[in-house]
Amino acid sequence: MPLKGHLIELRNRLIIAAVAIVLGGVAGWFLYDVVFEILQRPVLEVGGREGRNAEVNFAGVASAFDMKIKMSLFIGIIITSPVWLYQVWAFVTPGLTKKERRFSLSFLAAAVPLFLGGASLAFFALPNAVKALTEFTPSGASNIIPAQDYLTFVMVIILVFGLAFVLPVIMVGLNLMGILTAKRILKSWRIIVLIVFTFAAVATPSPDALSMFFLVLPMLLLFMLAWGVCVLGDKRRKARAIADGTWVPDEDEADE
């Protein structure tokens, strides 16, 4: 497909994803009050536990309305994750054979619960993050937290956790496309571990190590599972190539 064709396909898939998110945002508008109550609970619990005044505050006249629009779109992103994840996957895997495309759809089916699972795990890390960050407040002082700052902080954590859990699926997708082999992944395990720890340290802005490990351990486990799937994929691809008489050792095998 020429470059113009790829750009047109990218535009069409972005439009579909954007329309889906906007429609999901309409549903998010009606779910806003319930979601906001859940998200502000860690702040209220800090105040109740430690006897301090801690609350989420809307500073401006229009800030509550502005925040409701942003939160509605955020809820829409979560609700419509199957749609935009499929659009991303369909754009990056157009060169797969029909059989490989069917096989890859099973991993797309895994990407949606993984994204939602990562987003849900963020709820377990969120109270620890809020507690750790508010502990720096001097005795007798109050935590009047701007709603814009707090809810943006929460949305970033939830989305980052969700996307982090999808990365191993992308790794498997690259393996299906023949771009990334299991042996190459194994040789780069030190780099992967470093990237995971660095990513987790940046994604969890609380200073406590517990919140970081909430993200690190599941990510490492998922990468190990993805590597195992890549091993099976390489063996299947090699056996098919040998049977067809088209197998040529790749760089990793040539080095052995």
Domain residues for the domain of 64 are 3-244
- pLDDT band per the 50, 70, 90 thresholds, residue 35: confident
Whole-number pLDDT of residue 156: 81
- Can you list the alpha helix ranges (DSSP code H) found in the chain? 3-50, 63-79, 81-92, 98-134, 147-176, 182-187, 189-203, 209-244, 251-254
Q: What is the pTM of this model?
A: 0.70
250 domain residue, yes or no? no
Report the percentage of the chain scoring pLDDT > 90.
Answer: 9
Whole-number pLDDT of residue 227: 87
252 domain residue, yes or no? no
Q: How far is CA 22 from CA 6, 16, 69, in A?
A: 24, 10, 10
Whole-number pLDDT of residue 30: 92
Q: Above 90 in pLDDT, residue 114?
A: no
Whole-number pLDDT of residue 54: 64
pLDDT tens sequence across 190-225? 888 887 887 777 666 555 566 677 778 888 888 888
Q: What is the mean pLDDT of residues 244-249?
A: 66
- pLDDT band per the 50, 70, 90 thresholds, residue 117: confident
Measured between alpha carbons, how far is 99 from 69 in angstroms, rounded to an integer? 42
Q: Number of folded domains in the chain?
A: 1
Q: Above 60 in pLDDT, residue 254?
A: no
Alpha carbons within 13 angstroms on the beta-carbon side of residue 245 total: 0
113 domain residue, yes or no? yes
54 domain residue, yes or no? yes
Secondary structure E strands in 31-98: 54-57
87 domain residue, yes or no? yes
146: three-class secondary structure by DSSP:
strand
109 domain residue, yes or no? yes
Average pLDDT of every residue of the chain: 77
169 domain residue, yes or no? yes
Cβ-based burial of 255 (10 A; exposed 0-12, middle 13-18, buried ≥19): exposed
Q: Above 70 in pLDDT, residue 14?
A: yes
Cβ atoms of residues 191 and 134 within 8 Å: no
Tokens 């007798």 correspond to: 140
251 domain residue, yes or no? no
Measured between alpha carbons, how far is 158 from 152 in angstroms, rounded to an integer? 10
